Structure 1
Amino acid sequence: MDKSKSPLSIKSIHKFSRIDNLSFYFFTVQYITIMLFLFYLKLDYAAWATIPIILLFIQFSFSKNFTFPQKSVLAVTAITLFYSYSYILYGKSLNYVILAYWTAIILLIVIRYIKLMYLFLGVIIVFVLVTNYYDFFGFDYGNKQNFESDIYNPLFYFMVIMISLYLIILLVARTTAVTLIINDLKSKNNELNESRAELKKLQINKESFFAIMSHEIRTPLNAIKGISDILKSNIQSEEDQNLLELMDYSTNHLLALVNNILDFTKLNDGVFTLQYSEFNIQKSLHSLFKMNERLAIEKGLVFKIETTDNLPNFVYGDKNRINQIVLNLLNNAIEYTKKGSVTMKIGGEYAANNKNEYLLQVIIEDTGKGIDKTLAEKLFQKYATSNASKNSVGLGLTISKGLIDLMKGKISFESEVKVGTTFYLTFPLPVVLKKEKDVEDVEKDFENTNLKMLLVDDNKINLLVLQKQIVNKLKKCELTIAYNGLEALNLIKENQYDIILMDVIMPVMDGIEATTHIRALTDSVKNKIPIIALTANVGEKELNACLNAGMNDFVTKPFEINALLKIMSRELQSTNVI
């Protein structure tokens, strides 16, 4: 879009102004002609009365102090007064002067002042009727007895010609104005189309930028987190363990910031979707509590959890997003509480009209600094954060509110400065009607199963970390390495594997293309090998591409090794490997 061009609307306004001026130039010439004609007919009083109107139209031709409708209303008023004055003086001699009244009426119709037109029309009718009524009784307002010139025919033709010219110039002016408006709208439509194209291009660039940045940040984070997990299982020193936990916490915090920015962008663009699965409420939320327990104790806080007895075993929902919301509120409660306690209460009830739906309620109470009135009013707006916060960019609660709205849940809070804050969360979750499996037995069988695994990744650091993590957990697995999709495809053709862990973005052949070729193999065993994507891409489009290519599931980097093992266990159960 060429920004150097002048705005079309300004040009159009200038042209409309020229049309208005042209109209009043014509009116001026018209009434000068009328004045000369009236002098020719020896109607001197009427002729002299045209001079104020001529001066008014000259003023309107050059003045910018009035809009065209304002000028028109004043002009109509002046014209009506002039013809009424002429009718009083020469009404019986100038019966055709009544034709001139239509000039004012038509002008009001054109500028769409309908109510004013009715008012003027009523005044004109009353005026003419009253004048004729009194003339009937001999008052002779029209001066018929003293004025004997026969001017009916020339006056009639003159008035018809003048009115016709007036209507022609008015229609031409208004038609030109309409044409200019249409052209202006077309130009603006073109501008809008160009702007829409620019915005679409910007949107694509923004999505590409966030996808690349997410991938580039998550890849090294995955290595850091993996190394931390490995070292924690091998190092016995309490001091080293504490340092590793701090590193793990910092990694999770950085990951949370990246996720918040991506989630905020998706929520704003309306492209965010939830990922539903079955999960255990109590186990999931208790894990969140344990994650924050050490941090709360180090601050000297009383950290408590209370759980009701009526929780269902399994529900269906977006476990990760519920955890994200609760974790954000727990972190905030611990951060803003210097002394006292932080309590997490888990409960709820079954829906009154649907026993297969559980209304999960999570309450998080703290005895911290509280939320002042100014911050409370904008708490769920973006970038709203306390000045005392050192670890927040002010997006956490905004994203939490957006996620809860997507889940058709509710969030509210009560707070008193220097006393504390209580947040109330409600999530409607469908209940999974099945008995809880013996998870521990399944995990034990999985850890002791002889597995042949293929790891596919072009990043040697990620491969090294993943190898060590898997070997630490699965004592009897046999690992094979491939550095790109083509290498993996050739290995699969020559060997048999129980499961494949596949990176997505790789040189030579990426994970999507490699998966497509694997699913197209003629060997009915090899083309059904479970494939789990290990990807740093978290965009819905990219994740759907993994599933559409034939991958069984995906894990986003950085990931917890236990989360990966859980997905592997589920997929291997479905193929009867364990």
Structure 2
Amino acid sequence: MHRLLRRQIAKAGFDKKDLEKFKSFFDTVGGTYESFDNDFKHIELILSESSAEYYKLNQTLKSQVDNVENEINTIVNTIEGVIFKTDMKGNFKYLNKAWEDLFDMPVEEAIHKNYNDLLFGINKKEQARINAFLKSKQTDYSTLFKYFKPSGQKIWVQLRLVLTYDKVGNATGTIGTMSDVTQLKETEIELNHANKTKDEFLSTMSHEIRTPLNAVIGMSDILLMEKFLPDQLENLQVLKYSSEHLLALINDLLDFNKYKSQEIRLTVDDFNISELAQNIQLHFRQIAASKGLEFNTIIDSGVPEILKGDSLKLSQVLKNLLSNAFKFTHSGSVTFKVELLEGHKNSSLIRFSVIDTGIGVSYNKQKDIFKSFVQATDNTSMLYGGSGLGLYISKELLKIQESYLKLDSKKGEGSTFWFDILFEHSDLKLLDTQSYISKTEHIDLKVLVAEDNSLNALLLKKLFKKWNIDYVIAKNGEELLEKFSEDDFNLILMDLQMPILDGYETTRCIRKLNDSGKSMIPIIALTAFSKSEVSDKIKRYKMNGYLSKPFKVNELHALLKFYSNKKQQVV
């Protein structure tokens, strides 16, 4: 019998008679026990085999995971940049081997330490930024910071990181990269230094060129103030207009970098479009006559007389286009056309066109000629001269006026350049068209001038004599302080760049005087530097205003008249 059946029979107290009587039953039960044992042994065998199979599979998977992990670590550790993982507090949980190369610190020393302590040190501003990022849960974060290695070497590091999340959307930490950008940063610093040097050079050149030009423009103004024959008026107008145009050209060339950095701004004012067209016609009349060309100016009668816009930049574009038209046209005509495209209640869309019968531009060169220092053909500069900046500058000037220069041309058949500008209407019904005549009204004022350039000093003397102004001219700041201590004045015109003592230091000395009447005298900066270059220092040294050289005579007259009126109000 089965051992379990014998145990149960013994426990129940069956005797031999009972065993004989129930033999068939006990045989059945015994067979069941045997069958159960066989099944159990079979299951044990199956489980044993399965366990062995699972163990083998597990070992295979573990080996594969180890291989993948080793491959990933190999890949990650061969990457030059640092790859890291942190918790939400910024403690490093993982770092690849690039960490040691970048920061000269073993990975084991950095793990579980906070990157604020390791990287940013006393840079509280950067710590605050990165902590704010962790709290705000933004998408990503990037920064550039300076780091000093234990050896003292300085490097620049670019850091980028993103937040990681669990399955339910809770932020769990960050993963990110750090890379050495020292070479790029140092190159950027060198370029910025080079740009600063270039700007200083341009600023100096601007001052040196504008100073003699101031005398040319000023003398043309004085000639217009004196008596002249009626047939000389047109010549004087051309002289004044051309010298002012030359100044605009010089400003554009010297400030060429401003077009690249988009620093040029519009100066919107009322202007008379008929006067603008007349000045342009006067400017090119002699050129047309010398080349035997017909020069036509056509203005649509529907164009409003007075508009609001930047007439100087508009004139600059038109003169660039007309200069090219006359340069490249040997026979036939040049036409300057102004027409109304759309008239609205408060604005008008005006089209300006320059049409010539010149050499034209081939199709494959039409896009290139709008680039800086590019001309239509390789021998254009040799045959016709020019720098190749005209069309580029024109395109940039139109861009800030929300307009575009367009071209229709065929080689040997002439060209048509045109552009459209939307101008606001002016509230004025009539604008003074005699603005080229300088004012001669006398002014009751005593002026002290600091001017070291003899030509500019001569120009101011002539103007002050015309306006009956009492004046004293000093050649430098030291001389000005001496003259200022000897007499009383109503206004000081202060040149900024002078020998011995410049305009800034001279102004500082005046503002420190104990005599409040003298220390508070109005001081106007009179300089060839652009306003953007000196505006901050003018405010810092407590000057009262700015007047550029070359100055417009009527602007100087208006400035002096303003302080003359203030003087009379005080009296």
Report the Cα offset of residue 402 of structure 1: 0.9
Structure 2: distance between partners of 1:313 and 1:205:
45
Gapped regions of structure 2 (runs ≥ 5): 1-47, 83-97, 99-176
Structure 1: distance between partners of 2:482 and 2:182:
54
Structure 2: distance between partners of 1:282 and 1:515:
44
**For residue 182 of structure 1, what is the aligned residue in structure 2?**
81
* Letter in structure 2 aligned against 1:568: L
**For residue 555 of structure 1, what is the aligned residue in structure 2?**
548
**For residue 570 of structure 1, what is the aligned residue in structure 2?**
558
Report the TM-score, using the length of structure 1 for normalisation.
Answer: 0.59
* Letter in structure 2 aligned against 1:408: E
**For residue 307 of structure 1, what is the aligned residue in structure 2?**
299
Report the Cα offset of residue 332 of structure 1: 1.4
* Letter in structure 2 aligned against 1:304: N
Report the Cα offset of residue 273 of structure 1: 2.2
Residue from 370, 387, 390 that aligns with 1:393 = 387
Aligned length: 416
Residues 167-206 of structure 1 show CA distances to partners (whole Å, capped at 9, x for unaligned) of: 2343144135335353376334344333333333233223
Change (3 A) 1:269 1:442: closer
Residues 287-325 of structure 1 show CA distances to partners (whole Å, capped at 9, x for unaligned) of: 232122222222222223233444445433323222211
Change (3 A) 1:551 1:284: farther
* Letter in structure 1 aligned against 2:281: F
- Equivalent residues in 2 for 1:73-112 (5 A)? none
Report the Cα offset of residue 512 of structure 1: 4.8
Change (3 A) 1:357 1:489: farther
- Equivalent residues in 2 for 1:145-160 (5 A)? 157=55, 159-160=57-58
Change (3 A) 1:419 1:447: farther
**For residue 285 of structure 2, what is the aligned residue in structure 1?**
293
Residue from 370, 375, 381 that aligns with 2:360 = 370
Structure 2: distance between partners of 1:505 and 1:357:
44
Structure 2: distance between partners of 1:517 and 1:439:
44
Report the TM-score, using the length of structure 2 for normalisation.
Answer: 0.60
Structure 2: distance between partners of 1:220 and 1:182:
57
Structure 2 contact 531–548 (Cα < 8 Å) conserved? no
**For residue 193 of structure 2, what is the aligned residue in structure 1?**
201
Structure 1 contact 348–359 (Cα < 8 Å) conserved? yes
* Letter in structure 2 aligned against 1:554: L
**For residue 269 of structure 1, what is the aligned residue in structure 2?**
261
Structure 1 contact 375–384 (Cα < 8 Å) conserved? no
Q: Provide the secondary structure at the position in 2 that maps to 1:379.
A: helix
For the pair shown, the structure with the greater C-alpha radius of gyration is 2
Change (3 A) 1:426 1:511: farther
Report the Cα offset of residue 404 of structure 1: 0.8
Residue from 194, 201, 205 that aligns with 1:213 = 205
* Letter in structure 1 aligned against 2:75: A
Structure 2: distance between partners of 1:371 and 1:188:
49
Structure 2: distance between partners of 1:406 and 1:161:
71
Gapped regions of structure 1 (runs ≥ 5): 1-149
Structure 2: distance between partners of 1:515 and 1:317:
36
Residue from 58, 66, 76 that aligns with 1:168 = 66
**For residue 320 of structure 1, what is the aligned residue in structure 2?**
312
**For residue 145 of structure 2, what is the aligned residue in structure 1?**
none
Change (3 A) 1:501 1:198: same
**For residue 334 of structure 1, what is the aligned residue in structure 2?**
326
Q: Provide the secondary structure at the position in 2 that maps to 1:194.
A: helix
Structure 1: distance between partners of 2:239 and 2:435:
32
Report the Cα offset of residue 514 of structure 1: 5.2
Structure 2: distance between partners of 1:251 and 1:444:
15
Structure 1: distance between partners of 2:269 and 2:538:
18
Q: Larger helix proportion, structure 1 or 2? A: 1
Structure 1: distance between partners of 2:299 and 2:400:
25
Structure 1 contact 366–420 (Cα < 8 Å) conserved? yes
Residues 447-493 of structure 1 show CA distances to partners (whole Å, capped at 9, x for unaligned) of: 4445544432222343234434665xx25334321223454466557
Q: Larger strand proportion, structure 1 or 2? A: 2
Report the Cα offset of residue 152 of structure 1: 7.1
Report the Cα offset of residue 337 of structure 1: 1.8
Q: Provide the secondary structure at the position in 1 that maps to 2:452.
A: coil
Q: Provide the secondary structure at the position in 2 that maps to 1:418.
A: coil
Structure 1 contact 350–356 (Cα < 8 Å) conserved? no
Structure 2: distance between partners of 1:403 and 1:296:
26
Change (3 A) 1:277 1:409: same
**For residue 10 of structure 2, what is the aligned residue in structure 1?**
none
**For residue 407 of structure 1, what is the aligned residue in structure 2?**
401
Residues 481-525 of structure 1 show CA distances to partners (whole Å, capped at 9, x for unaligned) of: 122345446655765656654323224544456567778998689
Change (3 A) 1:169 1:509: farther
RMSD (CA atoms)? 4.5
Structure 1 contact 380–397 (Cα < 8 Å) conserved? yes
Structure 2 contact 492–521 (Cα < 8 Å) conserved? no
Change (3 A) 1:411 1:194: same
